[in-house]
Amino acid sequence: MAQPERSPWDLPRAGTAPTADPVAHVRPLTSATLEQHGARLTVPTYDRAALTPAVVHLSVGGFSRAHQLIYFDEVAQRRISTEWGVVGVGLRHRTLQEALAPQDNLYTVVERSPDGERARVVGVLTDYLFAPDAPGAVLDRLADPRTRVVTMTITDAGYLLDPTTRTFTPDDDVRHDLASPAAPRTVFGFLVEALDRRRRAGTAPFTVVSCDNLHRNGDATRAAVVGFAALRDEVLARWITDRVAFPSSMVDRITPQTTPEERAAVAQRHRVDDRWPVITEPFSQWVVEDTFCNGRPPLDEVGVRFVRNVTDHELMKTRLLNASHSALGYLGTLAGHERIDVLMGDPLFADYVTRLMDDEVTPLIPVPEGIDLDAYKATLLQRFANPAIADRLSRLCRRGSTKLPHHLLPSLRQALAEGRPHALLTLALAGWIAYLQRVDDDGRPVPVEDDRGPHLQALALAGGTDPRPLLAEEPVFGDLGAVPGFADELAGVLRRLQRDGVRATVAAAVLAGAR
């Protein structure tokens, strides 16, 4: 059996108890204090000033700081290359800039497992720009010949693609960018203007790597960038189509939001005053198609897997991990749970998600080359149950209208088409519909964080146990509502949830599947 993939670095374990030294104290995190933090944390030992800013990451958040930037930091830390420094760009909120600027763009990543935690300071972020304040500086950086790769994490809703045709659908911000290309507001406004400047200057284009949980995210990025460019200039659109690489990638690392309490705990344990540390798990995975147009960073030397086609890896991850997250998030919340590790401690829900993966999802997906699927699923269960991460179900429940169509509904639709078992997938969908109705089994309200939330909630409430009004929403469900007999089947599950509650309904579904 293959061993689970390791984290991209191997750190000495940090101490887990506060120091007994009466003169020790919490110190700010800056370039000047790095040596002082070296006794408790792994700190950059490379010359940060020698890094070439060759990567721009658009929309820096907790995940990118715990994932992509770690790999680039390891390239520098292992002395593999100094040619791949990273410039971060914020698009909507200035809070991260305010946190990073006083810290010379340094930040702490704390990796937590049931056995303890390890912490490191990341130094590969050479600069951070807040786009609304300095669009010209962002464009200059993107147009700079030294920039060879642009990575991005803008969430699946940010691509502005029609869910059926995958054609680019401009909104008001896009129309602004078309009218004011030198002061864009959108990711695609920045990318297209920068690529146009490089084309006119005779500079090679950069590779664009999406790191979002989106089917064939490279193809989605290409469709959005070329679609935007075509609204400006067909010649530019053809140049981008012919010259720019958009490799698809699969990324994976559970990274909860950092709370003020977590920040205080990091300060106490590691004596570092970091305004915005990142908490994450030991597991990390990045699989990228080997298609680059302006040099490929040596990420394969620090754990990234380059492949010809990432689709099988993507399907494995989205349909097993992401779909399971959604199923557990909605059903667990309705059952009164708040954290996934506590939920996994409940044998009923652990059995449910195991059977969901083994019996209903695994038969539908190809096995990626070099992957032991049983080992992968066992690792998923361990990750879900990690009490040191204590991932909140509320995070897993966000943006259901964009997550489910990519992660859970494809398996359900395929199972229906092939006449395969699908009761547990149907129960997961029923859990989302019941969640939209905003009350758990004890009558307590549940928060719904979704751009389409109010509209979908109105449909769910109007239908009650009849899902047809909601299933008619083709941007979310496609033709699922037209599958003969499925609406009645789903209605039956909704009635059982309403009549018997979540636990009894889950127990009955698991028992039926075991027969």
CA torsion angle for 3, 256, 322, 404 (degrees, to 10)? 180
Lowest-confidence pick of 85-89, 90-94, 181-185, 467-471: 90-94
Please tell me which residue, 483 or 452, carries the higher pLDDT value.
483
| Residue 255 falls in which region: left (phi positive, over 0), alpha (psi -120 to 50) or beta | beta
- Give the tokens for residue 425: 């997938």
Task: Quote the radius of gyration of the chain (alpha carbons, Å).
Answer: 23
Task: Report the top-level CATH class of 53-309.
Answer: alpha beta
Distance CA 264, CA 505 (A): 41
* CB-CB neighbours of 481 under 10 Å: 17
Please write the tens of the pLDDT for every residue from 193-250. 999 999 999 999 999 999 999 899 999 999 999 999 999 999 999 999 999 999 999 9
Domain extents in the chain: 53-309, 312-514
Burial (CB count <10 Å: 0-12, 13-18, 19+), residue 436: buried
Distance CA 376, CA 316 (A): 9
Cα 323 to chain centroid, rounded: 13
Burial (CB count <10 Å: 0-12, 13-18, 19+), residue 450: buried
Residue 13 above 70 pLDDT? no
DSSP conformational letter for 367:
P
pLDDT of residue 1: 32
- Give the tokens for residue 213: 């949980």
Task: Report the top-level CATH class of 312-514.
Answer: mainly alpha
Query: Which residue, chain included where needed, has tokens 């199923």?
Result: 327
Please write the tens of the pLDDT for every residue from 337-379. 999 999 999 999 999 999 999 999 999 999 998 899 999 999 9
Please write the tens of the pLDDT for every residue from 155-168. 888 999 987 788 99
Distance CA 169, CA 160 (A): 5
Three-class DSSP labels, 224-274? HHHHHHHHHCHHHHHHHHHHCCCCCEEEECCCCCCCHHHHHHHHHHHCEEC
Residue 297 above 80 pLDDT? yes
Asked if 112 contacts 269 with a C-beta cutoff of 8 angstroms, the reply is no
Local confidence band at 24 (pLDDT 50, 70, 90 cut-offs): low
pTM over 0.85: yes
Backbone torsions φ then ψ of 294, nearest 5 degrees: -150, 50
pLDDT of residue 442: 82
At residue 90, the 3 state secondary structure works out as strand
pLDDT of residue 162: 87
pLDDT of residue 129: 98
Residue 476 above 90 pLDDT? yes
Sign of the dihedral through C-alpha 76, 82, 84, 86:
positive
User: Measuring CA to CA, how many Å separate 169 from each of 158, 161, 180, 231?
Assistant: 11, 6, 18, 11
Backbone torsions φ then ψ of 339, nearest 5 degrees: -125, 145
Residue 23 above 50 pLDDT? no
Local confidence band at 515 (pLDDT 50, 70, 90 cut-offs): low
Closest by CA to 291, choosing from 218, 372, 216, is: 218
Distance CA 199, CA 184 (A): 18
- Give the tokens for residue 88: 């971060």
